Amino acid sequence: MNVKPAASAPPASPLSAQDLAALLPPPSLWRRMACWTYEGVLLFGVVFMASLVFTVVSQGVKLLLALLVTPGALSTPPLDLASVGASSSALPSSPERELLQVWILSVVLVYFVFFWTRGQTLAMKTWNLRVTTQSGQALSTQHALARLVLSWVWFWPPLLVALPFEMSLAARSAIGLAWIVFWAAMSLLHPRQQFWHDACAGTELIQTPPLDKDPKDTKETKDTHHRSASNTH
């Protein structure tokens, strides 16, 4: 009795970016907030390093200008800190503060746009998250800028509420924390549990599998493969 060999299954067509994003589960709220907190810690380091670079460069420029104007500036006696009056300040002058703020904002903008257009920041890699467009594509620079502007909704509402009132730092912090909890919880009302500023920006967060797992190897696809194997027997 001749047994015909089973016909080989046609090769599976590669999944589109939208299909792949649909297979990946939406991240849980606790994972997104853990990533959000870790992102803040890393961002503090980025801002600190940017401020340090600005301080070193600005001091070097001022020293160079002083040498050009007064060649004997290095031979002047050091400043006696005890003689510094109460009206003086160790903080930069007003033009320097404005330049420092512009510099820090520029560094933050470049940081997020650079990493978001590549899918993940360092914190998102740690928590296996990726930001894409709602069609599953990589973010363009315009999408990244829109997401960055809209993400300020985490901070602006409590700041605007507390601005007209005289409040202690603890009271302002409590209002800010309450708003963050409220805005995070609002994502549970989204069909895919996305933050609403992501929905407005046309972006979304997806949970990526670890590097040693196939994105298609989800529970649903495993069940499908199991049922198809049972039907063949």
For the segment 197-205, the average pLDDT, to the nearest whole number, is 94
205 φ/ψ angles, rounded to the nearest 5 degrees: -100, 135
CA distance 193 to 26: 7
Q: Compute the distance between CA of residue 101 and CA of residue 52 in angstroms, rounded to an integer.
A: 13
How big is the CA angle at 118 (ends 115 and 122), to the nearest 5 degrees?
Answer: 45
Is it the case that residue 208 has pLDDT exceeding 90?
no
SS3 139: coil
In contact, 41 and 126? CB cutoff 8 Å: no
175 neighbors 162 (Cβ within 8 angstroms): yes
Specify the pairing of strand 203-207 against strand 129-133.
antiparallel
Q: Assign 130 to helix, strand or coil.
A: strand
- Going by pLDDT thresholds of 50, 70 and 90, the confidence category of residue 59 is confident
Position 142 pLDDT exceeds 60:
yes
Mean pLDDT of the chain: 79
In the chain, what are the domain boundaries? 18-67+93-209
Band the pLDDT of 203: cuts 50, 70, 90. very high
Q: At residue 55, what is the residue type? A: T
What pLDDT sits at residue 115? 96
Is 101's pLDDT higher than 70? yes
pLDDT of 190: 93
**Higher local confidence (pLDDT), 187 or 20:** 187
Exposure string (b/e) for 113-138, b if CB count within 10 Å is 16 or more?
A: bebbbebbbebbeebbbbbbbbebee
Average pLDDT estimate for 29-44: 95
- pTM over cut 0.85: no
Q: How many CB atoms lie within 10 A of CB 203?
A: 22
Residues 147/116, Cβ–Cβ less than 8 Å? yes
- 143 contacts 150 by C-beta, under 8 angstroms: no
Please say if the pLDDT value at position 164 is more than 90: no
